[in-house]
Structure 1
Amino acid sequence: MFARSQGLVCRPNARLFTCMYRPTITNIAGQRLRCKRALIYRLGDTKRLVSSESRHARTSPDGSSCIRQIKAEEVHEVWQLDAQSYPDYPTQPIEILTRAQRAAPDLFWGHFANGRMTGFACATLSSGSKWTHDSLFNHEPEGAVACLQSLCVYPEFRKMGIAKALVKHLVKHIEDNHNGVTNMCFVCEAHLIPAYRRMGFTYVGPADPSCLSGEESSQWYDMEYRVPASPKDSE
């Protein structure tokens, strides 16, 4: 669904946890755009993911920051942040983000500090076995895989662990609400592999070129995280 995204914890050095994946896509007008990286979750019962925002929002002990679902009226700022995060790449249409927020609001999260948005992360569901180019444009509510499409943090808030917190929140959200989750995987550039390994991810190998929409497979690598089984899984 989305055209671009940013890495887990902000930009590594200038790009540590920045763009994990930038495939090329072609929009309706025939323009070739650069996409961001994708993160994938294997999900169980996707219907259970939708629940009250208050139940799943996470607030800091002092109340100064929180992670909560992005509201429809906040998508424009999300779009501006996404564009600002990648000044060297074409800005994706705001309609892509708007459609994503409407289709999967429970997979669209923002980090806020003192009421101000500092970053966001969003994902879509797919019936495939891993992230694919098609997942940029299609959210499949019954899909067994969640593909993280965008992860961005404002420059002045980078290197504070905000992007990492957003991803961990998504993981926790899935662990708590999807008994069938078995693992999480995504595609990243080579320089990000060590950072993700430190977070508990395992290197799988070069990404399948058929999933990269024209990008060289040697530039992208599959990483995987095994999601702990919930107690309900053994019942």
Structure 2
Amino acid sequence: MRMTGRLADAYLSFNITSEDHLGNSRVITQNVPIVKVLTSDGASNTTVFEEPMIPTPEVHIMLPHLERLRHVMVSYKSLADYVVISANLDGEMVFTTSDGVQHQFDGTFRNNNDTGDEEEMVMTPIRYGMAEKAHVETRFTNLNHPVMKDDDEGDHPHLERLHNRPKEFASVLVKVLDLQKVLQSHYVKPSNVICSIVPNHCILFYVYMKKDAQEAALTYFIPEISL
């Protein structure tokens, strides 16, 4: 990574070296424009950036092979603009095409067995509409679940789900295009990619890279689509 200039504009230039399926070396260069270059005085007077607070993820799962998943999303892109990503704590992960329409709950009631009166509304999980062109579902099984550093906290929602409802899926709705951008990280040949789901809120991807003794990580944040 280096800083370059074009006329009056500044850029961060990223050079990524990888190999294609034939083993040939290839260099990918991406120039990212810098909105503002701060002087030392300007940087000291700038408010420190704070990352947005998000709820604690309820499901952590290792992604399947990125190259395989990337080909799946190429097919999905021609069928729908949205995909529902679902995973549980039993090693299962599902990718489903969607039209992006959310159904918050059904207006159903639970009957009182003694009196027959309708006394309690039953809130059902959010449902997502099916894609108009085709309803396609891709399911992966026997995926691993990483041990996170905060898993030893007694009130962690991840542990509550693991102990009481490991087969229940947590889901988010995102754009296929956004997921495809994450999957482009397969070019850097990551050692592991962890997916963390905050149901009905967002999804996080942690891309871990290791070369020799050096380690690095990329973090992707995709908020759930709200239409």
TM-score grouping bracket, smaller chain normalisation? under 0.3
Q: Larger relative contact order (C-alpha < 8 A, sep ≥ 6)? A: 1
Question: Structure 2-normalised TM-score?
Answer: 0.26
Structure number with the higher helix fraction is 1
Question: Structure 1-normalised TM-score?
Answer: 0.26
Structure number with the higher strand fraction is 2
